[in-house]
Amino acid sequence: HAAVGENIFKLIAAELEKFEIPWDHCIAFGTDNAANMVGKHKGVIAFLRKERQAIHLSGCCLHLVHIAAKKGASCPSASIDEVLIDIFYYFEKSAKLSSVALRSCAGRSSGRC
């Protein structure tokens, strides 16, 4: 499997080596929240932490919201209005999450979410 954590890690390590970037310059790893990326034992982050223990994992909060909304929308007992209101309040309670969401929307060509 090409998408297993170890194989992805090897690709990252090869690129760092190719561009002569030392491991201590790697401070964070941003990713979706798939198991092959964030898995504690076999995910990419597990292999990265063997090289750089202090590396920060930055999972995508918008990806988590998308998954929650998708699952919520497929649930017959939840109305789409309730799901959207829950998402709104999830972001409203945190200035940091609101900022992340707004920056994500700003990158879209339409300027809207």
Region 49-73 average pLDDT: 86
Task: Indicate the pairing of strand 28-31 with strand 56-59.
Answer: parallel
Of the CA atoms within 13 Å of residue 32, those in its CB half-sphere come to 8
The residue with greater pLDDT, 110 or 72, is 72
Q: What does the chain come to in residues?
A: 113
Rounded Cα distance between 33 and 108, Å, is: 22
Of the CA atoms within 13 Å of residue 44, those in its CB half-sphere come to 23
What's the pLDDT at 28? 93
For residue 64, pLDDT over 90 is answered with: no
Region 77-85 average pLDDT: 77
What Å distances lie between residue 68 and 61, 78, 84, 111, CA to CA? 11, 12, 11, 23
Q: What percent of the chain has pLDDT over 90?
A: 42
- For 67-71, the CB contacts below 8 A with 24+ separation are 67/33
What's the pLDDT at 78? 64
User: What is the per-residue pLDDT across 25-37, written as a single tens digit (0 to 9) for each?
Assistant: 999 998 888 899 9
For residue 75, pLDDT over 80 is answered with: no
The residue with greater pLDDT, 111 or 82, is 82
